[in-house]
Amino acid sequence: MKMFAISICVAFVLGLPASDPARETIHKGDVVVVPVHGEVAPSLLTFLRRAVKTAESNDASAIVFDMNTYGGRLDTATEIVNALNQIKIPTYTFINTNAGSAGALIVIATQHVYMAPVSAIGAAAPILSTGEDLPTTAKEKTISYWSALIRGSAIKNGHNPDLAEAFLNKEKEVKIGDRVVHPKGAVLTLNAQEATEKIKGKPLLSEGIVDSIGDLTKKAGLKDNIVRIEPTGFEQLAFWITALAPLLLLGGILGAYLEFKIPGVTWPGVISAICFALFFLGHYLAGLAGWEVVALFVLGMVLVLIEILFFAHSTIVFGVLGVFLIIASLLWTMIDRYPQQPFLPTGKMLAIPLLNMFIALVGALIVIALLARYLPRTSLYRRFALIDSNPPGPSLAGAPRHFATALALAPGMQGTAVTVLRPSGKARFADHV
């Protein structure tokens, strides 16, 4: 039991980053620059989520996304678009060469667009990972869904919804007044000069052509205090840890169960501590939780241990409160909450955490039932647990004390173990074995 508590504490301490260069110092009013480079992948979502929350929680005046991507996974782009549309501070995109495919959809989720002199945006038609076209039905469903999503995103951020839809739907015609900007028959792609062309006094998409982030801040009238948030090597690790959250919870629960079931054996407690430490560390690196949830979890563990060690069979208050805090901390860790959102989570925010918790609990119950049935029969269990059955040979359990042995033994006498006395063996008392 003590080893389990010690393992929990040690694992959390070792999980704490000695220094965290990814947490740049941001002051109120700073302009935060966030690079969006390379493939649109889950690790990019993890990084962007952390960067956005960091900027908003530190009262940044604006976020500028420095974009250079040919696109990537559409499902990841969906989550990125949803995250960007929740930002409450002004958002800018600097298309620094490329905003292709899924990148174009992300651009539409920001309020202001600037482009480098030689750059392009568009060609967001969905395709398979092999580069081949989608089957007809799947393609129609995907385009229909994404057309609605990108139109809503464009309207929210002040862009032309027909233009945004034309990036992915080749059957969409873009017409402004009497002028056909883009005929149907091909997906839309714009270079910097085309995107900045003014029609009826308003740019088609881009508000200007700039050479750098500094040039953008000047033209947009932003402050010169620029802080750049860079991704870390932990972002990819954080993605896998959060993706494996149900398995980590399962390992933590099973390890804790075995630690209480077989006291004195340290490895289940160590495994449980490692699983919980990875669970909290991964969600911290992913920008989903802070260390306050760890404190809540540890407090819950302490209350449960107090119940077991000091108030067993007398009260359940400490135990119930401790279990509640543990479950609350695990759920709160998995909630994707942004600084401007209400403190209490909505049903949508709780959906994935509750699903992960349900999977972990059901899996733990199944494994515990199997262990309870088959583990006592294994040689591994007999190595660590005391067996209630008597050793082979005549039983002396029913014999009176003075008939059980011819030696003058009495409670309190001290002897020396000759063999292992677990569950039976030989010991020397005085001159007798």
Q: 21-31: per-residue pLDDT in tens?
A: 445 688 899 99
Give the separation between CA 66 and CA 115, rounded to whole angstroms: 10
CA geometry: angle at 38 spanning 143 and 212, to 5°? 105
**Inter-residue long-range contacts of 361-365, CB under 8 Å, 24+ positions, other chains counted:** 361/253, 363/246, 363/250, 364/250, 364/253, 364/254, 364/257
Q: What percent of the chain has pLDDT above 90?
A: 34
Give the separation between CA 57 and CA 52, rounded to whole angstroms: 8
pLDDT in the model for residue 20: 47
Structure-block tokens of residue 322: 């401790």
Spell out the domains of the chain, with CATH numbers in brackets.
11-228 (3.90.226.10), 234-382 (no CATH)
- Percentages (nearest 5) of helix, strand, coil residues in the chain: 50, 15, 35
Q: What is the DSSP letter of 197?
A: -
Assess whether pLDDT exceeds 50 at residue 314.
Answer: yes
Give the separation between CA 400 and CA 431, rounded to whole angstroms: 23
The neighbouring-strand residues paired with 175 are: 180
Given pLDDT bands bounded at 50, 70 and 90, which one contains residue 402? Answer: very low
Give the separation between CA 69 and CA 73, rounded to whole angstroms: 12
Residue 208 · residue 10 · CB < 8 Å: no
Q: 151-195: per-residue pLDDT in tens?
A: 999 999 999 999 999 999 999 999 998 899 999 999 999 999 999
Hey, which bits of 70-111 come out as E strands? Answer: 91-100
Side chain identity at residue 329, one-letter code: S
Q: 86-104: per-residue pLDDT in tens?
A: 999 999 999 999 999 999 9
Assess whether pLDDT exceeds 70 at residue 392.
Answer: no
Give the separation between CA 418 and CA 425, rounded to whole angstroms: 8
